[in-house]
Chain A
């Protein structure tokens, strides 16, 4: 079973700061998705990256898929308290039919 390692596990920052969350694996994924989860709710999809080297931007969030499709990063610019939550990366194995492997997540807290 492929594993996805996320770091850091916890992150507490002040409003306005920038941050980067990492998602790493020794194996290749067909695609990688980033989700955000709030307490008591299911994960909500933020982005899907498919092509090695791909960069996608969603307002203040920038997602990158590594050239070898083994790792990904999420960068948040000028974090806001509303960004607080659990950020999960999830990879689809080659030939999979959509069943994803999730990392343990990064719990982000942005203080005003």
Chain B
């Protein structure tokens, strides 16, 4: 079946602009995660949804970052007033149950470049 889909694959924006990144998880997966991966680093946790609600948003760096999952499927990560330091690959992952041993299925990410 189809895997996790992320759009766009690349996004270039100017400092100060607003961006939205979209994630389509695997059908039937209740848990959805957003991670951010900077060059030479492992993925860094941002936020986790179980269904429609954000179960853990402790990884969001500041209030410029916000994510929604209104119908428990597609999720959008929103970044306001972008800064050059926000440049990274934003990865979305979904899992069937969201438990400690439930494997994550990652999309290919959105590469965000803030100029």
Interface residues of A (CB under 8 A from B): 4, 6, 30-31, 33, 35, 40-45, 48, 50, 88, 90, 92, 96-105
Residue of A44, A92, A96, A102 near B42 (CB, 8 A) is: A102
Q: Are A45 and B99 neighbours in the complex by a CB distance under 8 Å?
A: no
> Interface size of B by Cβ–Cβ distance < 8 Å?
31
Residues of B within 8 A of A35 (CB): 106
In the complex, the answer to whether B99 meets A98 with C-beta atoms within 8 Å is yes
The distance from the CB of A66 to the nearest CB of chain B, in whole angstroms, is 17
Q: Is the CB of B109 within 8 A of A42?
A: yes
| B101 interface residue per 8 A CB criterion | yes
For A96, the chain B residues whose CB sits under 8 A away are 100
Whether the pair B106, A100 counts as a contact (CB closer than 8 A) is: no
Contacts of B55 in A (CB 8 A): 97
Residue among A90, A98, A100 with the highest chain B CB neighbour number at 10 A: A98
Ranked nearest first, the 7 interchain pairs of A and B with the lowest CB-CB distance are A42-B106, A102-B42, A92-B100, A30-B100, A98-B98, A45-B103, A31-B101
A92 partner residues in chain B, CB cutoff 8 A: 100-101
Name A99's contact: one of B4, B59, B101 (CB within 8 Å): B59
Most buried by A among B44, B56, B101, B105: B101
Q: List 11 A-B contacts (CB under 8 A).
A: A30-B100, A31-B100, A42-B107, A43-B106, A92-B100, A97-B48, A97-B98, A97-B99, A99-B45, A99-B56, A102-B44
The number of inter-chain residue pairs (CB within 8 angstroms) is 74
Q: Does B93 contact A (CB under 8 A)?
A: yes
CB distance from B11 to the nearest CB of A (A): 15
At the interface, is chain B mostly helix, strand, loop or mixed? loop
Interface residue B31 (Cβ < 8 Å from any Cβ of A): yes
**Would you call B50 an interface residue if the criterion is a C-beta within 8 Å of the partner chain's C-beta atoms?**
yes
Q: Check A44 against B106 for contact (C-beta < 8 Å).
A: yes
| A6 and B44 alpha carbons, distance in the complex (Å) | 15
Q: How far is the CB of B113 from chain A (nearest CB, A)?
A: 14
Query: Is B41 among interface residues, defined by CB-CB distance under 8 A?
Result: yes
Least distance between A94 CB and chain B CB atoms (Å): 8
